[in-house]
Each structure stands twice: as C-alpha cells, then as structure tokens.
Amino acid sequence: MMSSLTNEKDGATFTCESEDTILRAALRSGYGMAYECNAGGCGACAFDPVSGEFESLWPDAPGLSPRDLRKGRMLACQTRAKGDGVIRCSSAADYVPPIRPARRRLTLVGTRQVTHDMREFRFKGEGAANFLPGQYMLLDLPGVKGSRAYSFSNIANDAGEWHVIIRRVKDGSATRVLFDELREGDVIDADGPYGTAYLQTESPRDIVCVAGGSGFAPVLSVLRGADAAGMLGQGQGQGQGQGARKAHFLFGARHVRDICGAEELAALSGFAAAGQFMPVVSEPDEGEAWDGPTGFVHTYLPGLPRPLAEYEFYFAGPPPMSQAIQELLMIEHKVPFGQIHFDRFF
Ligand SMILES: Cc1cc2nc3c(=O)[nH]c(=O)nc-3n(C[C@H](O)[C@H](O)[C@H](O)COP(=O)(O)OP(=O)(O)OC[C@H]3O[C@@H](n4cnc5c(N)ncnc54)[C@H](O)[C@@H]3O)c2cc1C
Ligand code: FES
C-alpha cells in the first residue's frame, strides 16, 4: 500500500511504499530529509508526528533522547507510515540524494581477510553499481532484526560490484551472520546508496582522511575515488581534479595488529605520488614492535603541514573519535563545516 506524507514545515509531500521507513521513502522520492546514520543512533532524523498513524520499528532506539520521547518525537529511519499523514521534520538541499537509493538483491561473490578481525565482502548485483565514494548501503541479514549500515570500500563500476569492509563485533548479531554463516553464492537484500559524507570532486583543497577501525572502508573509497578522478598527484592529472592535490591518511588503530591500508594505498598511483599514510596506535600491547606514533589519532592533525582550515576532511569510525575530531577542527581550528565530511559508526 502506498501512502502520502506532508512536511508541515515546508509543505513538501512525498510518497511512501509500505515496507519503507519514512526516511528511506523521502530520500527515494528525492526529498532532502535530514539524516545521518540511517541506523537509529544519531537522532538527526527525529520528527514530530502531526496527524496520521505511525509504527515504530525500534521504540528503544538510542537516537531518541528522554526529552524527545516525552515530546512524542519519532525517528524517521525507524518508523513506517500506516497511511497518509502530516509530520514536522528538518530538511535541506544538502540531503537531497545525488543518486536515488534503490533496493536490490546482492550475491556474495568473494571475501578477503583484511586484518585479524576485518574482512572485505564483495557482493554483486544486476546492472551497474552506482554510488559516490564514501557512501554506504543498508543490508538485511537473515534472522537479524533491523538493517545494518556498511560503507562501500570500492568505487562505482559497471560490473555491479558492491564491496564493504566489516569488523567483527563481539556478540554482534549482524556480524555473526556475516562472518560465520554467509557463504559465497548466498543472496541478501540491500538498499542504497545513502550518506552525505562523499568525495567533493570540485574542491581544490588537499585531502585529509582519518579512519578509526572499520572506518577504513569509506576512507579507502574516498581515496580510490580521488585517484580515479585524477585529483591526486603533482599537477599532471586528468579530469575534474587536475591532479594537483595531496592526500594525508591517518589511521587510528588500537593495536599494531589492527593496522591496515598500506597495500591498498600503494595500488593508487595518485596516492603513491602525493599521499602520506600515518598509522597511529592508541594502545600498543606489551611485546608489540612499534616505534611509530602512539595515542589518539586526532592529536596528530595539528602537525599537518598547512593550517587545518585549508584542507577538505573525511573521517569515519566510532562516535567518540568523530566527536574529538569535530571539536578539534571546528572549535580549535575554525575549519568551515562545509569542509568536514564524516560518518559515525553507531
Ligand atoms: C553510516 C554507518 C556506516 C557504517 N559502516 C560500517 C563499515 O563500513 N564497516 C563496519 O564494520 N561497520 C560499519 N558500521 C557499523 C555497522 O552498521 C554495525 O553497527 C556493526 O557491524 C555491528 O553490528 P552487529 O549487528 O554485529 O552488532 P550489534 O551490537 O548486534 O548491533 C549494533 C547495531 O545494530 C543496530 N541495531 C541494533 N538493534 C536494532 C534494531 N532492533 N533495529 C534496528 N537496528 C538495530 C544499531 O545500529 C546498533 O548500533 C556503520 C554504521 C553506520 C551508522
Ligand atoms: S538518521 Fe535516524 S537516528 Fe540517525
């Protein structure tokens, strides 16, 4: 059954398929509803129901504060409309999807161990894989309640390949299925692309990427995208980028055994010519051979060669890391918000 929702704030109306959450329906129809994680964690998609009937798929989602709950607010990424209705939500042109998200069936065609607890999963679907570097998709896994967001690690391609890099989470319900049950040839439901932290090909600034743990995936996609667009190098690149930008990639690992990336980055000619890879280890284990930088990865940002306000930033990983980087960049170094692109992995 199809229903129709109107945002009282701006009068915009969009249609909802019955299986879609309000957020997915809005973005699918090209409406820029505010959001970030699509996973119930951040609260960016909170809305006020005005009239109509709504069904929450996850009433205890952490994205709703006690105050939101008292005011009857709901999360658009965890709510379905049961018929026509009116809501009050935030929206902006920045959220209008550059590529409309769509549902598709994907087949697992291969895996590769990246570190002791991170694995690349390669899926294939019908037609071309169309997404921007740094975006993510939502996967529905058999027996797992709710969808899970996973960032692409590759770039758009005509072969229909959708790659992700996933860290095994202790007692995690989706990662248990992915690591222990899913076999090559198995088919799952996916929906995407989503996300606003994608590569800005028009920006003339040097690029700084920061990844914490599995935040490696979107950052690798951004650097692969920059390389493919000829944005990196010493001035002799082709295409939109003209190849004059440098890239710095800071990888925050807890232990030495968590570090990855050198091999993938070495395969990018632009990064090899104009890139710097700096792994930072926060808790080197006794007996681990490590004479590189230690501590929290964000503390190394002020050591970059240029004033921080002159860079374009991309980062992904655990919410505390993202919070620390945002504060450092926006409050201490006055980096304009438009130059900061990030995903928090709830
Ligand atoms: C934008 C984004 C991009 C991400 N990209 C990556 C990536 O590239 N690689 C990676 O390893 N991880 C990524 N994550 C994290 C990933 O989505 C999962 O949270 C993680 O794999 C743990 O899932 P789990 O089910 O194993 O763990 P669990 O601890 O079982 O579940 C954790 C997460 O599942 C969701 N959840 C739990 N219960 C429900 C419910 N009832 N309904 C709906 N959702 C529920 C919540 O988001 C919760 O944080 C990303 C997260 C976000 C938000
Ligand atoms: S987008 Fe809905 S809680 Fe993050």
- 293: containing domain: 206-344
65 CA to centre of ligand 2 in angstroms: 12
pTM, full prediction = 0.96
| Cβ count within 10 A of residue 158 | 9
**Does 302 share its domain with 211?**
yes
Ligand 2: atom nearest CA of 40 is 3
**Does 210 share its domain with 338?**
yes
CATH of the domain at 126: 2.40.30.10
The pLDDT of residue 289 is 86
Q: Is residue 201 part of a domain?
A: no
Q: Is residue 302 part of a domain?
A: yes
Q: Is residue 242 part of a domain?
A: yes
Among 71, 26, 67, which residue's Cα sits nearest to residue 48?
71
Report mean pLDDT in 10-residue bins for the chain, 346 residues: 95 96 98 98 97 96 96 97 97 98 98 97 98 98 97 98 97 97 98 98 96 95 96 60 84 95 94 94 86 95 97 96 96 97 94
Ligand nearest to the CA of 45: 2
Q: What is the residue with the minimal CA distance to atom 3 of ligand 2?
A: 40
Q: Is residue 214 part of a domain?
A: yes
Asked if residue 36 has its Cβ within 6 Å of ligand 2, the reply is yes
User: Where a domain ends, among 61, 79, 95?
Assistant: 95
Asked if residue 27 has its Cβ within 6 Å of ligand 2, the reply is no
Ligand 1: atom nearest CA of 167 is 11
Q: Is residue 199 part of a domain?
A: no
**Does 228 share its domain with 269?**
yes
The pLDDT of residue 240 is 47
45 CA to centre of ligand 2 in angstroms: 5
User: Where a domain ends, among 174, 194, 214?
Assistant: 194
**Does 127 share its domain with 32?**
no
Domain count for the chain: 3
Ligand nearest to the CA of 43: 2
Ligand nearest to the CA of 115: 1
Asked if residue 345 has its Cβ within 6 Å of ligand 2, the reply is no
112 CA to centre of ligand 2 in angstroms: 30
**DSSP letter string, 156-224:** -BTT-EEEEEEEPPTT-HHHHIIIII--TT-EEEEEEEE-S----TT--SEEEEEEEGGGHHHHHHHHH
**Does 90 share its domain with 108?**
no
**Does 216 share its domain with 340?**
yes
Among 93, 153, 95, which residue's Cα sits nearest to residue 129?
153
CATH of the domain at 242: 3.40.50.80
Asked if residue 63 has its Cβ within 6 Å of ligand 2, the reply is yes
Q: Is residue 55 part of a domain?
A: yes
**Does 118 share its domain with 85?**
no
Phi-psi region of 242 (alpha: psi -120 to 50; beta: other; left: phi over 0): left
Q: Is residue 218 part of a domain?
A: yes
The pLDDT of residue 244 is 83
Q: Residue 86: enclosing H or E segment and its boundaries?
A: strand 85-88
User: Where a domain ends, among 139, 164, 194?
Assistant: 194
**Does 188 share its domain with 298?**
no
Among 166, 278, 163, which residue's Cα sits nearest to residue 224?
163
Helix (DSSP H) and strand (DSSP E) numbers for the chain: 7, 18
Q: Is residue 178 part of a domain?
A: yes
The pLDDT of residue 242 is 60
Strands 136-140 and 79-81: unpaired
CATH of the domain at 67: 3.10.20.30
- Residue bearing tokens 């105050």: 67
